Structure 1
Amino acid sequence: MFVFEIIVPGTWLDYEDSDWTWKIQNQLYSLQSQFFEANLALNLFISAQTSRSHSFSKDTWDANSKRRREISEMLEQEYIKQGKNYWESHDEISLQTDIIFKREKWQQGTIPREFEHNLSFLYARAFLYALDAFDKFLGVLSREENVPEVISELHKKISDIFPDLRGVRNTAQHLEDRSRGLGRNNKPLDLKPIENNFINAPNGGALVLNSLNGSKYGSTMVDGHYGEVDVSPESMSHLQEILNNILGAFNWHGPKQHKPSV
């Protein structure tokens, strides 16, 4: 498990304007909340990726095949007792075997492959949304009066480190448009070339949605380019540095705080 730690330089902000202090401190709490949400999403993503890579087992395959045969034979006997022709009932027996077998497995705690496949994507998007929310909160904070000038610089740093963040998040929230090849104002996308170790479309024309290339979650963005956000400890390290610098830019009083908790 990856736990990214932060040090809050004090317990309360130390400024004379109580209204301003209350407002800014709440925004700093929101940044911390999104930071730890991203950290959680990262761990869940890594766990889902690891689980998928170890999900196949020959012993499990053999046991499943044996149980399917048992169910099928049981159904065959029932159909014969009912006077039904086996060959005419073959498709129905096959369907009922599949239904009974899967319901048994679900009752035993087996996760459907569709669920398991989508877990990584679900957690990747959770990371993406937490990162995007962090960026938005920081943007609001940077525009507040009397905040340290470095806050604006730190906000810009997010764009430098995650240049595709806004574009990939926008596509994730507008898949109903991108899937139809539409961009802003329902205009057709001008699909740009893509060349990486996952996709090779040097002449353009490739529409990519909701994809995972290792730890990189990517999609075609509204400008037609393919963009990615890395769901990785390295990304969290960048965010950790930014958050610690944000917190350190303000004046505090009271004991320092180490987060997260236990």
Structure 2
Amino acid sequence: MYLYQLTYPGTWLQLESDEVRFEIEGALRALEGILTEAAIALSMFEESQSQRPDPRNEWERDAEIRRQAEDAIRKEAGDDYYQNFDEYRLLSEKRVRDKKAELGMLPRSYLHKIPFIHAHTFVYAVDSFGKYLEVLQEYDEIPGEIEKCSHEFDRLLPSVRKIRNSALHIEDRSRGYGPPRDKKKGKKMEVEGFLGLSNLEGNSLCYTIDDGSYQRVEISPEVLGILVSLANRVLASFEWSGPAHIEPSY
């Protein structure tokens, strides 16, 4: 499991307005929550990618479960088994599936999708981090360092926002539509190469974005490290009171 450290220089922000202080403290706590989500998603993504079942063992296990189900049904049905073979074949398949579920064996389609789910969770967390940096810039009381952090985020992770938008609007991208304004006009994208949606290439989640180009974002410790570094810079830029502490807490 990936663990990160955030250093809070104090306990309470030093701001004149209690209302603004409350809102900004809430945004900073949200950044911490986003880091936690990203760290967990990254850990689970890598774990799901590393799990490679032995095909031979899987085949032998499947064959034994099927043999037991078919033998039991053949014994129960007697002579009727061959008279209504299709009916009993379907019943046998249902029992095989019930047994596999009981043993915690997942369908191949489930196993295939698991890393994709964790990859999307990671990308959504990264995108939310960038959005909170933008929200923080709306306050007059914010240090100039926040704007620098936001620009740094955009520079280092330029494709995150577009990929997240394509993931959320995959029903439009799959039909070749880009931005909403173009969709309203019935104008489709000029796709570069091929239309790729929710592809995993190694540790990168890939999408055709709204300008028709094919983009990638890494699901990696390096990207998580960017968020942690920026979050610590954000925290250090404020004036604080009270004892310093490190999060997440144990």
Q: Calculate the TM-score normalised by the size of structure 1.
A: 0.88
CA distance in 2, matches of 1:188, 1:256: 53
Corresponding residue to 2:167 among 169, 172, 187? 172
SS in 2 for 1:190: coil
| Counterpart for residue 230 of structure 2 | 242
**Counterpart in 2 of 1:64?**
62
Percent of pairs identical after alignment?
32
In structure 1, what is the Cα distance between the partners aligned to 2:26 and 2:76? 67
Per the alignment, residue 45 of structure 1 pairs with: 45
Q: What does residue 138 of structure 2 align with?
A: 143
Aligned to 2:199: 211
Q: Secondary structure at the match of 1:25?
A: helix
User: CA offsets per residue over residues 227-247 of structure 1, 9 Å max, x none?
Assistant: 111111110011111000000
C-alpha distance after superposition, 1:146-202 (max 9, x if no partner): 21111111101111111111110001000111111111232312101xxxxxxxxxx
After superposition, residues 79-228 of structure 1 pair within 5 angstroms as 79-82=77-80, 86=82, 89-185=84-180, 186=183, 187-192=187-192, 204=193, 206-228=194-216
Stretch deviating more after TM superposition (237-246 or 94-103): 94-103
In structure 1, what is the Cα distance between the partners aligned to 2:137 and 2:54? 49
Structure 2 counterpart of 1:124, which letter?
A
Q: Could you list the runs of 5+ residues in structure 1 that have no partner in the other structure?
A: 193-203
Displacement of 1:57: 4.7
Q: Distance in 1 between matches of 2:5 and 2:49?
A: 23
| SS class of match (2:243) | coil
SS in structure 1 of the partner of residue 146 of structure 2: helix
Deviation at 1:144, TM superposition (A): 1.3
- 1:232: which partner in 2? 220
1:236 is aligned with what amino acid?
A: L
The CA distance in 2 between the partners of 1:228 and 1:35, in whole Å, is 20
Q: For the residues of structure 1 that align with 2:200 and 2:56, how far apart are their CA atoms?
A: 27
TM-score by length of 2: 0.92
Q: What code does the residue aligned with 1:260 have?
A: P
Contact (CA 8 Å) 2:65, 2:99: kept in 1 or not?
no
Alpha-carbon distance between aligned partners in 1 of 2:121 and 2:152, rounded to the nearest angstrom: 21
CA RMSD after TM alignment: 1.7
Structure 2, unmatched stretches of 5+, are none
